[in-house]
Amino acid sequence: MDISSPEWEMAVVFSKINLYYFTGTMQDGMLIIPKHGETTLWVRRSYERALDESLFPNIESMNSFRDASKSISGLPDTVYLETEVVPLALYQRFRKHFPFQSFKPIDPQFCAVRAIKSEY
């Protein structure tokens, strides 16, 4: 991201495939990746299962996006999202609690990262 979009400040992951790739669990939730600060996996359902499945260091429980929004200070004007897989209704619910001005796609960067395979 720093190379392709050096202006980025925050990316958010919703899709279960990308959540699994980055955290090791596919629970209902989102991964908030700030440029500066701690990345957090917010889990709506199966929080205990997420803890069992994932070695991700920062997993929090949420009932709604409102819970996660309370942890964000200084929301950037532009947020990077998976535009290929996020339904409009999910985007609207998210934006209600995270009132950013615009979004940009993060799909090309995720595809590039996932194209490099590890032995795992």
- Number of domains the chain is built from: 1
Print the domain residue range for 49.
10-115
User: In this predicted model, what pLDDT tens digit does every residue of 107-117 receive, in sequence order?
Assistant: 989 888 888 87
User: In this predicted model, what pLDDT tens digit does every residue of 39-84 receive, in sequence order?
Assistant: 999 999 899 999 999 999 999 999 999 999 999 988 999 999 999 9
Phi, psi of 5, rounded to the nearest 5 degrees: -140, 70
Query: Chain-wide mean pLDDT for the chain?
Result: 94
Q: Is the pTM of this model over 0.75?
A: yes
Q: How far apart are CA 14 and CA 31, in angstroms?
A: 7
Q: Which pLDDT score is estimated for 53?
A: 96
7 has a pLDDT exceeding 80: yes
Across residues 94-115, what is the average pLDDT? 93
Total residues belonging to the chain: 120
Residue 4 located in a structural domain:
no
Q: Which pLDDT score is estimated for 113?
A: 85
DSSP 52-112: HH---S-EEE-SSHHHHHTT--S--SEEEE-TTT--HHHHHHHHHHS--SEEEE-HHHHHH
Q: How far apart are CA 58 and CA 36, in angstroms?
A: 15
Residue 120 located in a structural domain:
no
CATH code for the domain of 51: 3.40.350.10
- Best CA proximity match to 9, nearest among 88, 101, 120: 101
Residue 108 located in a structural domain:
yes
Q: Which pLDDT score is estimated for 77?
A: 97
Residue 2 located in a structural domain:
no
